[in-house]
Structure 1
Amino acid sequence: MTKLKLGPLADDRPVKLSVELPAAVHRDLILYADALAAETGQQPVPPEKLVVPMLVRFMATDRAFAKARRAQGN
């Protein structure tokens, strides 16, 4: 199995955010949760628990975003 970009998920207090996802994205999140569980030995998490770590990882590796963030002084 290939190494997934996400590792074990930390238990963190959630902030409520409502979004609408295409059904295909939701199905892929479920498949990703299953693959992550198999890789980490944890139980599969609900798909909504994957969104935050995925966004954090995406933003952390986006060079243009990092450059813009530094330019704003954040």
Structure 2
Amino acid sequence: MADLKLGKLPDRTASKITITVSAELGQTLKEYAALYRQTYRQSETVAELIPFMLAAFLEGDRAFAK
């Protein structure tokens, strides 16, 4: 087997999760997406932002990382 610098890629199979949020949280997420668009001058939907928001939350949770 060759000694490649790039290791084997991780599983990239998508996992679909459907959630229902309160009207208040839905509005807050829309406001966040609007601020994201204003900040980065790039439009992303709430659905596109949520996976990155969840990943950032989990990576920042010190108790979970233990």
How many residue pairs get aligned? The number is 54
* TM superposition shift of 1:56: 0.4
Higher relative CO (Cα under 8 Å, sequence separation at least 6) belongs to 1
**Unmatched runs of 5 consecutive residues or more in structure 2:** 1-12
TM-score (norm 1): 0.65
Computing the radius of gyration over CA atoms, which structure comes out larger, 1 or 2? 2
TM-score (norm 2): 0.72
Superposed CA RMSD: 1.6
Structure 1 stretches (4+) deviating beyond 2 angstroms?
13-16
**Unmatched runs of 5 consecutive residues or more in structure 1:** 1-12, 68-74
Counterpart for residue 41 of structure 2: 41
Q: State the percentage of identical aligned residues.
A: 30
